[in-house]
Structure 1
């Protein structure tokens, strides 16, 4: 991995870790549905501009069903669940629970294909469950009213990401940028019917709307561009490293900007979840960018 791609990877992890910060800021004021509708709409508009510049077609006639399925499981439903949970849970807890996504993906794949997982993968799944149990059991946020439902919502959001990843493997090949662009427009349509059922709790300020813009354009639009560039340059397996880095940034941003308290249980629980995820995905860190490059 080159130094440039390493920096892209760290930047992407920082941006996606920041999404939990922005949701935590805006969700208590806007509510889940309005917040997420803004997020996917702003991301769609941003990606539409990029598509015009790069002349990237959507091919809606051929791919609209695919975009709807991907938009439902990869954006609309999990985003709504995160928006709901962000009214109660800390950004740190949201970020760590989101790291269970590869665990759900592996479990769904094993059930779908009816293949028994290896002992190493089973150990990783058990570690992930133990890490979540440690976080939920010791984090003071878990004792707040509605915290149990919020935690279940986040885990279900991660489950939906796992469904989306397995669907993407089975679906027909569609250009990655078109996947991002089309699924964002599909999400915009899918979230709209939920608006009447989620009232707006407060009056949005300029700061709240700035957080919403950052969530849509930075954490969705720009993040997708970075992610797909990494997949192109270093492959999907190496790009998966962002899964292990984004919780660390989620915790960091929560401490710096929201004054969240992070106890030993947060750090230990995060380490257990991330280690379990590494075992499940078979991830092995690559430090190729440190190797001496041959002189031409």
Structure 2
């Protein structure tokens, strides 16, 4: 890759990693639902100029049903679930959990769609999910008295990644011939329309402060709208498989931003879980064996938040 492409890749990882920082900063004052709704609405407004293309309008009109499903699975529901989790979990933990989506895509593809897994990919799944168990157990702190707020927050993170998995399979099987930016723009419009009434209904009684509003604007304009543009330009230049390296950068930057700006400690569960999960992802996606490119995993990042 050229130096400019490497810089773009690092910038994209930093931006997507910062989304967990911004959610952590805004979730308490906005509430999970209102923050998710404002993120979707803001991203839809920022992405509106992309609709000026006749090709994109035609593609969205023709493929509105799968785009509707992708909008729900890859934007609306994950936005809500991750925003809910941000009220209880450190930004770094949420960012690390985001790395399990490729593992779920590979596992569900093998179980539901008879997609083949070689020995390296199967080993990667086992290793990756071992890291998930390590992270969850260390974060929740099971003590025999049930699961508290952190437990429900971790469940929300897992649920968000399950949603990403559904969106990835739908996109891979029904939208392969559609311009990725059309899918991204359409999915943001769907998310905004779906979340708008819930946002109005659950708007906080006390107006959020300046820092919360800045976090929301950063989340919508930078981490969602701008990030899509950067990702698709990068894919066009270096290809989908190389662009997937961003999967390894998001957790790292999420932990770093949480440490620098929120003074979140890096625990053994976070460090160990992150390393083991990313090793599993590397094996499952074929990053450690470049000739084994995996089974459609690049679609995980196509409509990411």
The normalised TM-score by structure 1 is 0.90
CA distance in 2, matches of 1:113, 1:235: 25
Gaps of 5+ in 1: 287-296
Paired with 2:76 and 2:212, the residues of 1 have a C-alpha distance of 21
Displacement of 1:72 in angstroms is 0.7
1:67-89 deviation per Cα after TM superposition (whole angstroms, max 9, x unaligned): 21110111011111101111100
Q: 2:141 & 2:174 partners in 1: Cα distance?
A: 39
Runs of 4+ in structure 1 deviating by more than 4 angstroms, as ranges, are 140-144, 196-199
Q: Report the Cα distance in structure 1 between the residues aligned to 2:202 and 2:218, rounded to whole angstroms.
A: 22
In the alignment, the residues of structure 1 paired with residue 271 and residue 42 of structure 2 have an alpha-carbon distance, to the nearest angstrom, of 33
1:130 aligns with 2:133: no
What corresponds to 2:57 in structure 1? Answer: 58
> What's the RMSD between the two structures over aligned residues?
2.1
Report Cα offsets for 1:244-288 as digits up to 9, x if no partner.
0110000000000001011233112101000000111111488xx
Q: Which residue of 1 aligns with 2:300?
A: none
Corresponding residue SS for 2:228? helix
SS for the counterpart of 1:99 is helix
Indicate yes or no: 2:182 matched with 1:174: no
Give matches, 1:267-286, under 5 Å.
267-284=271-288
Aligned counterpart, 1:71: 71
1:256 aligned residue? 260
How big is each residue's C-alpha offset from its partner over 1:209-228, in whole Å with a ceiling of 9 and x where there is no partner?
01000000000000000011
Contact 1:43–1:217 (8 Å) recurs in 2: yes
CA–CA separation in structure 1 for the residues paired with 2:205 and 2:165: 31
Deviates most, 54-63 or 1-10: 54-63
**Once the two structures are superposed, what CA deviation does each residue of 1:134-156 show, in whole Å capped at 9, x if it has no partner?**
22222378788311111011011
Q: Which residue of 2 aligns with 1:211?
A: 215
Equivalence for 1:45: 45
Aligned to 2:232, the other structure's residue is in SS state helix
Change (3 A) 1:138 1:201: farther
CA shift, 1:66, in A, is: 2.5
* In structure 2, C-alpha distance between the alignment counterparts of 1:20 and 1:106, rounded to whole Å: 24
What secondary structure does 2:64 align onto?
helix
Show the 5 A alignment for 1:47-196. 47-52=47-52, 57-59=56-58, 60-115=60-115, 117-139=117-139, 145-172=148-175, 173-195=177-199
2:303 alignment partner in structure 1: none
Consecutive unaligned residues of structure 2, counting only runs of 5 or more, are 291-305
> How many angstroms does 1:197 deviate by?
6.6
**d(CA) in 2 for partners of 1:84, 1:139:** 16
Residue 270 of structure 2 corresponds to 266
Residue aligning to 1:228: 232
Per-residue CA distance 1:58-105 (angstroms, 9 max, x = gap): 224312213211101110111111011111001010000000010011
Inter-partner Cα distance in structure 2 for 1:197 and 1:149: 23
Q: 1-side partners of 2:207 and 2:80: how far apart?
A: 20
How far, CA to CA, are the matches of 1:26 and 1:185 in structure 2?
22
Matched pairs, number: 285
